[in-house]
Amino acid sequence: MSFSTLPNIGMGTFRLKGNDAREAVKSALSLGYRHIDTAQMYDNEAEVGDGITSSGIPRREIFLTTKVWQDQLHADDLIHSLHDSLARLKTDHVDLALIHWPSPDDEVPMAEYLGALRDAQREGLAKHIGISNFTCAQMDQAVKILGQDAILTNQVEVHPFLANRKVVEHAQKLGITVTGYMPLAVGKVMEDDTLQQIGQAHNATPAQIAIAWVAARGVVPIPSSTRPTHQKANLDALNIRLSDEEIRAIDQLDRGERIADPDFAPAWD
């Protein structure tokens, strides 16, 4: 199986450690997930690799993403770090390698680290390449450096309280798929009245409604969960069809509430 585009939902592994990470990946794959997302910074690549190996699902049927951390952005470091990631993941390639964050204050020039990422792709370390947490201006710059169609995705925070509309629309205009992390706003969606009401109408949880809304915007959600029942519910959310009226009601929840906002983040749109 060869993936030319991202599978329409993924299993995120941020904050999952040790055996939890191992079991969560194995369980997600057994339920039908085929897209697993990790990163060097999550410190769980080895466990994610174990989960994949022990799942019994052939590696070629799994779309695996990892991300290069910002202390590895110099060209030589980047290539070495990806080799290390592959060793931990117990595979000879990832399906997608992302730059986790743009270099803070452009300490490493974008042309250097994106060029190195392209070299890694040419060496077969990654089938596809992409970016994460890039602003509209940074996406434009990245497209200028790598050319149209080189960047598979920009992975950014997207949930009902942070629609991230400007970035999503700009990426889509550039032909870049958006992957939405934290689609459940670290559980906050469960407490929202609007999402609860819409959920009741669909016999679904607020979490499922949030995922359905993200997917309806053409964004690939990557929810994270260790519980098989939640993993299955998140997968089933893709079958929910929200009405235009329901989508508009959820659109109203956008309050620019950004959860992932470290001090090295770019100047957000």
Please count the helices (runs of H) and the strands (runs of E) in the chain: 10, 8
- Reference 153, options 240, 248, 37; nearest CA is 37
**What are the φ/ψ torsions at residue 68 (nearest 5 degrees)?**
-85, 130
Q: Following DSSP, what letter does each residue of 234-268 receive, concatenated?
A: HHHGGG----HHHHHHHHTT-----S---TT----
Looking up tokens 């089938």, which residue turns up? 127
Residues annotated as part of the active site: 42
- Reference 116, options 154, 83, 158; nearest CA is 83
Coil, strand or helix at 44: coil
223/30 Cα distance (integer angstroms): 16
CA distances from residue 79 to 71, 73, 122, 146, 147 in whole angstroms, order as listed:
12, 9, 11, 17, 21
- Reference 203, options 159, 248, 239, 245; nearest CA is 239
- Reference 116, options 84, 81, 92, 143; nearest CA is 81
130/201 Cα distance (integer angstroms): 37
